[in-house]
Amino acid sequence: MNILVTGGAGYIGSHTCVSLLEAGHSVIVIDNLNNSNLETLEKVKQLTNKDLTFYQMDATNEAAIDQVFLNHKIDGVIHFAGYKAVGESVKKPLEYYQNNLVSTMVLTSACQRHGVNRIVFSSSATVYGDNQVPFIETMNLLPTTNPYGESKTISERILTDAAKANTNFSIALLRYFNPVGAHESGLIGEAPNGIPNNLMPYVTQVAKGKREKLNVFGNDYPTVDGTGVRDYIHVMDLAEGHVAALENLTEGVHIYNLGSGKGTSVFELIHAFEEANGVTIPYEIVDRRLGDIAASYADVSKAKLELGWEAKRDIKAMCRDAWNFEKNYVEMTIAK
Ligand code: NAD
Ligand code: UDP
């Protein structure tokens, strides 16, 4: 299939391009390079020994998107493009709603106009809010604590309504849990700008000596050891989950949790990282982070049953590959 990948130069998008190319699909990437670099796509080509088409453009630009649909016979779209920093979304709600919602609407209406029915959307476990674990697709969603999370909940609703009106649409709403790690080669991975918000990139920067110690946000949660529990998923497993969703989609809207199904605490992750990589991660317990929940992990049975997909790589592999990428990573300039 010819697959249009928005945000394909980003962290999850670039790994998914690798999996798509390896599975024999053709890839057309659009990305405005707001949070990524062209070099990443060169590495995707190098890794797969395959070519892809790239357009530097904004996913909210309706005329430009239309032109891409005219230039190519597109069979499906994976929509990654968007802003993703939770804290920043509280400070810049309008930018987040503008980028994340308008891109979803522009893309969906372009699909409608051009008769492209397969759409895979990057949602997030954050839409569950502070629900009872494990999170399952049939749960009622609870309010999230920030505009980023709300933009995902609203995007899901927009796509669901679009599919009610156009019964040819086959839409997958993929709720990612906590993507971590990097391609096994260490050539592509996660390279956040500035101080990382997320645990794994913070840990790898501590291991590298770029940061002095990890701040552990609270050890008084009702969890196995008091620290926050999350469902970490290797980014290559996540990438393969997109290919499975795309290839197995049927008409209507289908929601899938993409996670490992296992909860890992902050302390457990630190220990797994130390063991996998033979390094020490100094840490300090500090106050809870505002808006954090105690535990988030997935019920993953639906994706396994309907897509024949499940995560294969364990927490040690995630830690090893995250560190392998960070060790080799030389900072690149982000084109703004
Ligand atoms: P990322 O920032 O690495 O990738 C997003 C890409 O989209 C970047 O290359 C950026 O330049 C591009 N982009 C942003 N706005 C754009 C626009 N208007 N037009 C064109 N390109 C645009 O982020 P990621 O971690 O790869 O996340 C991909 C998607 O998955 C996002 O929608 C994110 O919200 C969602 N998601 C991510 C996580 C996570 O923990 N990383 C978890 C759940 C959901
Ligand atoms: N966390 C932490 N220190 C950090 C970053 C995160 O203790 O510097 C904790 C956080 O409180 C949560 C877990 O690690 O329990 C995962 O946080 P992350 O931001 O990676 O994911 P999210 O909370 O968005 O699921």
Looking from the CA of residue 86, the nearest atom of ligand 2 is 24
Domain assignment of residue 310, yes or no? no
pLDDT by position in tens, the chain (length 336): 999 999 999 999 999 999 999 999 999 999 999 999 999 999 999 999 999 999 999 999 999 999 999 999 999 999 999 999 999 999 999 999 999 999 999 999 999 999 999 999 999 999 999 999 999 999 999 999 899 999 999 999 999 999 999 999 999 999 999 999 999 999 999 988 889 999 999 999 999 999 999 999 999 999 999 999 999 999 999 999 999 999 999 999 999 999 999 999 999 999 999 999 999 999 999 999 999 999 999 999 999 999 999 999 999 999 999 999 999 887 654 443
> Does residue 80's CB lie within 6 angstroms of at least one atom of ligand 1?
yes
Domain assignment of residue 297, yes or no? no
Domain assignment of residue 315, yes or no? no
Domain assignment of residue 185, yes or no? no
Q: Indicate which residue's Cα is closest to atom 16 of ligand 2.
A: 199
> Does residue 37's CB lie within 6 angstroms of at least one atom of ligand 1?
no
- What domain count does the chain have? 1
SS3 per residue for the chain: CEEEEECCCCHHHHHHHHHHHHCCCEEEEEECCCCCCHHHHHHHHHHHCCCCEEEECCCCCHHHHHHHHHHCCCCEEEECCCCCCHHHHHHCHHHHHHHHHHHHHHHHHHHHHHCCCEEEEEEEHHHHCCCCCCECCCCCCCCCCCHHHHHHHHHHHHHHHHHHHCCCCEEEEEEECEEECCCCCCCCCCCCCCCCCCHHHHHHHHHHCCCCCEEEECCCCCCCCCCCEECEEEHHHHHHHHHHHHHHCCCEEEEEEECCCCCEEHHHHHHHHHHHHCCCCCEEEECCCCCCCCECCECCHHHHHHHCCCCCCCHHHHHHHHHHHHHHCCCCCCCC
> What ligand has the least distance to the C-alpha of 293?
2
Domain assignment of residue 327, yes or no? no
> Does residue 84's CB lie within 6 angstroms of at least one atom of ligand 2?
no
Domain assignment of residue 115, yes or no? yes
> Does residue 32's CB lie within 6 angstroms of at least one atom of ligand 1?
yes
Domain assignment of residue 317, yes or no? no
Q: What is the pLDDT of residue 49?
A: 98
Domain holding 92: CATH number? Answer: 3.40.50.720
Q: What is the pLDDT of residue 335?
A: 41
Q: What is the pLDDT of residue 331?
A: 67
Domain assignment of residue 271, yes or no? no
Looking from the CA of residue 217, the nearest atom of ligand 2 is 7
Looking from the CA of residue 198, the nearest atom of ligand 1 is 40
Q: What is the pLDDT of residue 115?
A: 98
Which residues span the domain enclosing 35?
Answer: 2-180+233-259
**Active-site annotation holds for 83:** no
Distance 230 CA to ligand 2 centre (A): 8
> Does residue 13's CB lie within 6 angstroms of at least one atom of ligand 1?
yes
Distance 227 CA to ligand 2 centre (A): 9
